[in-house]
Amino acid sequence: MGTLWSQERPPEEEQPTEQRSRWWAPARRLLTAVLLLGLFLGSSVVLFYFLWSCGPRPCKTPACWRLLKYYQASGNTSVPPCTDFFSYACAEAEGANTSFQALAEENKSRLQKILDAPRSWPPGSGEEKAFQFYRSCLDTDAIEAAGAGPLRQVIEELGGWPVSSNWTSLDFNRTLRLLMSQYDHFPFFRAYLGPHPTPSHSPIIQIDQPEFDVPLKQKQEQKIYAQIVREYLTYLNQLGSLLGGDPIQVQQHASVSISITSRLFQFLRPLEQQQAQEKLFRIVTIEQLQEMAPAIDWLSCLQATFTQMSLSPSQAVVVHDLDYLKNMSQLVEEQLSNHSDFLQSHMIFGLVGTLSPALNSAFREARRLLNRKLQELMGRPPTPAYDRGMQCVEETGAFFEPALAALFVREAFGPSTQSAAMDLFTTIKDALVTRLQRLPWMDEETRKEAQDRVTRLQVEMGAPGGAMTPALASQKYSEVRLGPNFLQSFLSGIRARRARIIQSFLEPFPHHRWQVSPWGVKAYYSVSDHVVVFPAGLLQPPFFHPAYPRAVNFGAAGSIMARELLHIFDQLLFSGNCLACDTYALERELQCLERGYAAFPSPGGTSFGGFHLLLESAADVGALAIALQAYNKRLLWRRGEATLPNLDLTPQQLFFRSYAQVMCRELSTQDSQDTQSPPTLRVHGPLSNTLAFSRHFQCPQGALLNPSHRCQLW
């Protein structure tokens, strides 16, 4: 029955059902269309909101507004970016400083504000002594009142000076020991502790060339050379007069001192020549060194300088230019045989120049005038006007670095900034590990070893760990004695700094020994400790800020980080150091880079050459590629990219602009001693080898920065 009931209906019931069916069909189609239209409109709104929320937004934080002002002041956007991106980013930059030098000045100003703030410290603490030293440095009235008296006292302790006082003819090596150990002055050579050049990189005494007070060069025009000598002679005559010397006698001793300097300089061998001859260093014992350069009492001089060590004739030392030391010794023996008083004057002249920052205005003005004349002769912009406050900041920072480190880091590199910087570094390091997998010239075993080296690399940021512990920092200043005059305080600071550096090498220290101050702007890779260091002073605006668009941080600070990471593999690129690599492919890329860089017009007619310069340029190109790869990966995982307002740059364009901003520098300030390419090449070389740059700036094929062929070593 149930079945029949379901299948059979009266005829009168079937008609209304058919009518409803005919009416419902078009209604259903209409309803479906309305629903589809609503779904389309709704999804469009959602998609529009999604794209709008993920698109670049203008960053309007105070940090971004300051960066915008900085970029607008340093760029010239009327220049075509595809032919001269350096001018596009840097043409309007004011002053002779590089971007790094400008940042260094800003950091010193911040440190000066810290030192100027009224504070109280525990008696005898490193902070108390630092602030006392700074205030005594600023007390120019007391320094002027003391006159040349404190300096004369120092000269008397060294046996006097033939041109200005009674001279006790002391033993030459006794005077040299005092200069080295008590005044940190090395007139004929430098001696310092450093890591052994071969594994295990244990501390070892290094004997190197001296740092000359006169800017002589291996290749210098005779006219320029004569003018430099003339200006330096005038300066030495002034020093003798300020110390009451007879003008005729002063003139004679000053001339001989310059002659000694000139001859010592001629003994030097250029670094390129040492590299070509594979004589960068030699390891000898003190006894062997004594035989080869007998004029110096090496054991007594080194023992007095490195009192924390127990030395013997069998002690090994590293000698960086043995030929220089042999010739220097012969010159000293000649002077001792004929004119030992001239040799004494030469050492005193050099010491007075070293101590000039701690002397009265007459000595400082003589030094300032000399520096200005030398800058003019070398074709460099004049140095800024003398600022006593900034000079005192520099001296206080140099002598009391551990005590001031924590104060600077708390002021400039808080936890949020450090966390953001570490996150950036991790992303850059991961990008390098990924990139190593694609290098065609590396064999599989070398690739795995390279990736392992990156993985094992340590990183330190901000300041040394021990410097952030006030108790440990204060212990380093127990021997500092301030007074009775500023020169004595200055000398006490010199001695304490030298003892601190030596002790840091000798202590079994679990952390890396920093080579820069926390407010410095130089990152570096330490081969001996396999650690890369980024001081707090470097990770600052305009290179880095947590509130910046990611494009800025990756383009500026990220490329700096990537460059230091690539220094891990410097030795790998030297000929014969990677036997299992595809040397043909490696050489091909190096030659490609060399040809590409040589094709760029270089300011001042300088030429691109030398393997060291080639390696530095390869690191520039690789660093930009790694930073860009890391930035693109970050864009895939994190939405909400920002750009700078009113700059009319996409995030990718801002990335390249930020990279170039790091290199900004006036072309006339390029030093011939620089190991880097000129700033234009450091911008144009990497950009021309980056296809993404041409794409984002829509560079036509064949433009200077969009060549038909690109090189990519890394």
What positions carry a catalytic annotation? Answer: 564, 620
Nearest to 55 by CA among 695, 642, 645, 701: 642
- Residues with Cβ within 8 Å of 361's Cβ and at least 6 positions away in sequence, in order, are 140, 143, 144
Residue 613 structure tokens: 């310069």
DSSP class of 184: -
3-state secondary structure of 216: coil
Whether 625 and 690 have beta carbons less than 8 Å apart is answered as yes
Nearest to 235 by CA among 218, 251, 217: 251
**Cα distance between residue 635 and residue 632, in whole Å:** 5
> Which is it for the CA torsion 438, 440, 443, 446, positive or negative?
negative
DSSP class of 208: E
**Cα distance between residue 425 and residue 554, in whole Å:** 9
Whether 219 and 229 have beta carbons less than 8 Å apart is answered as no
Backbone torsions φ then ψ of 318, nearest 5 degrees: -100, 125
Residue 535 structure tokens: 């001081």
**Cα distance between residue 651 and residue 337, in whole Å:** 71
**Cα distance between residue 597 and residue 430, in whole Å:** 29
C-alpha pair distances (Å), 541 with each of 64, 67, 352, 418, 427: 10, 8, 38, 14, 20
**Cα distance between residue 705 and residue 87, in whole Å:** 13
Q: Which amino acid, residue 57?
A: R
3-state secondary structure of 535: strand
**Cα distance between residue 430 and residue 538, in whole Å:** 21
- Residues with Cβ within 8 Å of 205's Cβ and at least 6 positions away in sequence, in order, are 191, 192, 193, 302, 306, 309, 315, 317, 318
Q: Which amino acid, residue 144?
A: E
Residue 690 structure tokens: 């980056």
**Cα distance between residue 554 and residue 90, in whole Å:** 19
Q: What element of type H or E holds 145?
A: helix 140-146
Question: What's the first-to-final CA gap in the chain, in angstroms?
Answer: 86
User: Does residue 484 have a cis bond before it (omega within 30 degrees)?
Assistant: yes
Residue 278 structure tokens: 């594979």
**Cα distance between residue 557 and residue 535, in whole Å:** 12
Residue 20 structure tokens: 């409803």
- Residues with Cβ within 8 Å of 702's Cβ and at least 6 positions away in sequence, in order, are 708
**Cα distance between residue 650 and residue 654, in whole Å:** 6
